[in-house]
Structure 1
Amino acid sequence: MSNGTAERGTNGVQSVDRALGILERLARAGELGVTELAQEMGVHKSTAFRLVTTLEDHGLVEQTEERGKYRLGMGILRLAGATTARLDLVQEARPVCRQLATATGETVNIAVLSDASALYVEQVAGSSALQSHNWVGQHIPLHATSNGKVLLSGLPDDELASLLEDLPSYTELTITARDLLTAELEKVRDEGYAVAVDELEVGLTAAAAPIRSAHGDVIASMSVSGSTYRMSGDALDEVIAHLREAAAEVSRRLGWVGLH
Structure 2
Amino acid sequence: MDKTLLKGLSVLEAIAEAQGELRVIDDLAARVGLSRSNAHRTLQTLIHAGYVERDTVQGSYRATLKMFALGLKQLNRLDVRRLAPPFMACLARATGETIHLSVLDQLEVVYVDKIDSEHAVRAYTVVGGRAPAHAVATGKALLATESAARLDRLPAQLPGFTAATITDPMQLREELSKARDIGYAVNRGEWREDVGGVAAPVFDGLERPVAALGISGPLNRLTAERMAALAPRVVQAARRLSAALGYTRNSAAG
Q: Which residue of the partner structure matches residue 131 of structure 2?
A: 140
Identify the match of residue 159 of structure 1 among 150, 155, 163. Answer: 150
Contact 1:207–1:224 (8 Å) recurs in 2: yes
Alpha-carbon RMSD across the aligned residues, in angstroms, is 2.9
Q: Which residue of the partner structure matches residue 223 of structure 2?
A: 232
Q: Which residue of the partner structure matches residue 201 of structure 1?
A: 192
Contact 1:105–1:129 (8 Å) recurs in 2: no
Change (3 A) 1:177 1:3: closer
Determine whether 1:5 maps to 2:38: yes
Please state whether the residue corresponding to 1:5 is helix, strand or coil.
helix
TM-score by length of 1: 0.67
Change (3 A) 1:6 1:123: closer
Contact 1:106–1:129 (8 Å) recurs in 2: no
Identify the match of residue 183 of structure 2 among 187, 192, 207. Answer: 192
Amino acid at match of 2:232: A
| 1:14-34: CA deviation from partner (whole Å, max 9, x where unpaired) | 9xx8xxxxxxxxxxxxxxxxx
Please state whether the residue corresponding to 1:96 is helix, strand or coil.
helix
Q: Which residue of the partner structure matches residue 92 of structure 2?
A: 101
Q: Percent same amino acid among aligned pairs?
A: 31
Alignment of 1:55-204 (within 5 A): 83=74, 86-128=77-119, 130=121, 132-204=123-195
Change (3 A) 1:84 1:204: closer
Change (3 A) 1:95 1:4: same
| 1:1-22: CA deviation from partner (whole Å, max 9, x where unpaired) | 65752586379869xx8xxxxx
- What is the rounded CA distance, in whole Å, between the counterparts of 2:147 and 2:196 in structure 1? 27
- What is the rounded CA distance, in whole Å, between the counterparts of 1:241 and 1:161 in structure 2? 30
Contact 2:123–2:195 (8 Å) recurs in 1: no
Contact 2:87–2:237 (8 Å) recurs in 1: yes
| 1:215-243: CA deviation from partner (whole Å, max 9, x where unpaired) | 22211111111121222244222210110
Determine whether 1:213 maps to 2:176: no
Q: Which residue of the partner structure matches residue 247 of structure 1?
A: 238
Contact 2:137–2:187 (8 Å) recurs in 1: yes
Amino acid at match of 2:132: P
Please state whether the residue corresponding to 1:95 is helix, strand or coil.
helix
CA displacement at 1:157 relative to structure 2: 2.6
- Larger of the two Rg values belongs to structure: 1
CA displacement at 1:126 relative to structure 2: 2.5
Contact 1:104–1:126 (8 Å) recurs in 2: no
Change (3 A) 1:3 1:235: closer
Change (3 A) 1:141 1:86: farther
Change (3 A) 1:86 1:211: farther
Please state whether the residue corresponding to 1:158 is helix, strand or coil.
helix
Change (3 A) 1:112 1:86: farther
TM-score by length of 2: 0.68
Unaligned runs of 5+ in 2: 1-28, 30-34, 50-72
Change (3 A) 1:131 1:161: same
Unaligned runs of 5+ in 1: 18-81
- What is the rounded CA distance, in whole Å, between the counterparts of 1:159 and 1:13 in structure 2? 37
